[in-house]
Structure 1
Amino acid sequence: MTDYANKLATLDAPKGRSLTQDALRRLTRNKAAVVSIFLLLAIVLIAFIGPYFLPWSYSQVDWTAIRKPPDFDKGHFFGTDQNGRDMLARVLQGTQMSIIVAAVATVVSVSIGVVYGAIAGYFGGRVDAVMMRIVDIMYALPYILFVIILVVMFGRNPVLLFVGIGAIEWLTMARIVRGQTLSLKEKEFVEAAKAGGAKPWTIIMRHIVPNLTGPVVIYATLTIPEIIIAESFLSYLGLGVQEPQTSLGTLISFGAPVAEVLPWMLLAPAAVLVTMLLCLTYIGDGLRDALDPKDR
């Protein structure tokens, strides 16, 4: 019996899986999400690296090929626009701009929404009521009006556009975080932190916010398509990115009026935009399923 006990003691205990490993395992089983991740990464890499391998820049004019369809001999793989600029180079530059807008605006909206919603949910009472009424008032204001006011006051600044879109998209995030915080603040680990003398701000940042990772990541992934569409809509109206820079929304706005005679000007940016939105939607659905606490 002693030898048998010694052998058991020398055996390694079976290793368990963490919640992160379980989530990754469920995510890798979602084929649509995995394909979307690789496709989106490919689009991002091509958008930022591809321009260095093209014979034409996004602002360079080819006076011998104005309004021409795709021509592989001259290096215009997606054709040219009304000004003789290479459409492939402009689509890649527009994709860069749309991705940057989405990334910066998402960081802004998540940062504001998480902190605002966590404070409102943790303190509750009158603080929660006042903070949520502010959110309701901002919901009632059309975001397009807010962006127009910013453009009129500060000019057509792309950075201002990023911040302006992010400063509007945080409202829904704040509501989601506030609802999750109302549930989390009643948990045992929060009560233990209070009993240990932790201050409210410490409890919010060290105990509540880290436990909001799942819902925040899921909603942030689903927010990116909304921001891309918002930027494209503003650029379509002429309030977004301006020449000589471009975005997918700007390219679509230029291609839509001439779609019958110059279809490549509309099809190329529209195809990239739709592909990105579909990929982000599938990734968001995959993360939602992978991080769902009911599946743990």
Structure 2
Amino acid sequence: MTDAGQIAAAPPAAAPIGDGLRPAGRGRLVLGRLLAARWAVAGAVTVLLLFVLAFAGPHLIPWDYATPDYTALRRPPSATHWFGTNGIGQDVFAQTLRGLQKSLVIGLLVALFSTALASLVGACAGYFGGWTDRLLMFLVDLMLVLPSFLLITIVSPKLRGAGWIAFVALLALFNWMITARVIRSMTISLKAREFVRAAQFMGVRPLRIILRHILPNVASFLIIDATIAVGGAVMSETALSYFGFGVRAPDVSLGTLLAAGTSEAPVFPWLFYFAAGLLVLFVLAVNLVGDGLRDALDPTSEGARPARRRRTGNRSSS
């Protein structure tokens, strides 16, 4: 065989890794799956717009949520008062934005605190086992059987001087138990893995193993749970404030606005439906984001398969 034939029969040289064939990292894969879920993207954009509206909107209008306009009592929406006014002349648009702002902050803080508490308790129970596991799980079971709504309604009036931060702590205190049980089960499975055993043999402290090795490997579940918990916390705050056990006057939240506008909704619908619409929109958007994150972080889920099929089809066509 001639040299030319040998050259022609030689296999092509492997393309270097840098020529577009480098395997995508997990972050890029998750982002690609998330962006492929149109409803999740729409939910994320809606949540972002609601946050911008809640915190930037009050600066776009001349009315404060607590300042009445005595020349406009129970006026319908107009160019002066975009969402109308209530019985004492307060601007409903300003009040709705203030209520949305308060509900969003409470929902985020409750989700953050409850997820952090659940991850710490669940990981410690699953990692240490023994009497630590039994004691922490007894606490979890005890908290699960307690009537949380009733306890919050009893304790909340006694904490009026502490402000809404105490209300956030109460909501977070009764919103972490189921997540802690799931984290415990995941930790029991993870502590038998090689990387955890290697850290133990190297003398790494247990708390450092939990923070550096256990919790990062359950971060996908924690992110999804925290996202969904935001919507649940906003609904809980709204329900409690509706019955007078949450945010109190002169401050407002979506729950207090709904409570004040319920009786007048048939005659003055703008006092009720604007706040109700924003509440439904936010909870729906957060749930869409949670579903999208679940599909993006779990490659075996049904929602991730269409994105994988599209990428496979694009590679085949190229």
Give me the TM-score of the superposition, normalised by structure 1.
0.93
Q: Can you list the C-alpha shifts for 1:38-78, whole angstroms capped at 9, x where unaligned?
A: 11101110110010111211011011111111121xx2111
1:221 Cα shift? 0.6
Report the residue type matching 2:181 in the other structure: R
Q: Provide the C-alpha distance between the structure 1 equivalents of 2:265 and 2:219, rounded to a whole number of angstroms.
A: 43
Structure showing greater Rg: 2
SS of the counterpart of 1:25?
Answer: helix
Identity of aligned residues (%): 36
Unaligned runs of 5+ residues in structure 2 are 1-5, 305-318
User: Which position in structure 1 is the counterpart of 2:307?
Assistant: none
Distance 1:103 1:119 in 2: 24
Whole-angstrom CA distance in 2 between matches of 1:59 and 1:121: 50
Q: Is the 2:157–2:245 Cα contact (8 Å) retained in structure 1? A: no
User: How far off its partner does 1:9 sit?
Assistant: 8.5
Superposition map of 1:83-122 within 5 A = 83-122=88-127
What residue in structure 2 maps to residue 78 of structure 1?
A: 83
Shift of residue 151 of structure 1? Answer: 2.3
1:47 maps to 2:54: yes
For residue 73 of structure 2, give the secondary structure of its aligned residue in structure 1. Answer: coil
SS state of the match for residue 300, structure 2?
A: helix
Question: Quick one: structure 1 residues 49 and 9, their matched pair in 2 at CA, closer, same or farther if it must change by over 3 Å?
Answer: closer
Q: Structure 2: which amino acid aligns with 1:136? A: D
Q: Counterparts in 2 of 1:1-296, with a 5 A limit?
A: 12=18, 14-72=21-79, 75-155=80-160, 157-294=163-300
Q: Kindly state the Cα deviation for residue 107 of structure 1 after the two structures are TM-superposed.
A: 1.3
Write the distance in 2 (CA, Å) between the matches of 1:142 and 1:242.
23
| 1:8, distance to aligned residue in structure 2 (A) | 6.2
SS of the equivalent of 2:174 reads: helix
Q: Is the 8 A contact 2:98 2:253 kept in 1?
A: yes
Residue by residue over 1:88-119, the C-alpha shift from the partner in whole angstroms, topping out at 9 and shown as x without a partner, is 00000000000010111111101111100000
Q: Which region of structure 1 is more displaced relative to structure 2, 94-103 or 138-147?
A: 138-147
Q: How far apart are 1:155 and its partner, in Å?
A: 1.9
What is the count of residue pairs matched by the alignment?
293
Q: Which amino acid aligns with 2:34?
A: L
How many angstroms apart in 2 are the aligned matches of 1:107 and 1:146? 21
**In structure 2, what is the Cα distance between the partners aligned to 1:121 and 1:238?**
39
> In the TM superposition, what is the alpha-carbon distance from 1:10 to its structure 2 partner?
7.1
Measure, in 2, the Cα distance between the counterparts of 1:131 and 1:248: 35
- Report which stretch shifted further, 31-40 or 173-182: 173-182
Normalising by the residue count of structure 2, what TM-score does the alignment of the two structures yield? 0.87
For 1:114 and 1:27, the matched residues in 2 are separated by: 24
Q: Could you say what the CA RMSD is over the residues aligned between the two structures, in angstroms?
A: 2.0
One-letter amino acid of the structure 2 residue matched with residue 77 of structure 1: W
Query: Are the equivalent residues in 1 in contact too, given 2:156–2:246 (CA < 8 A)?
Result: no
Amino acid at match of 2:243: L
Unaligned ranges ≥5, structure 1: none
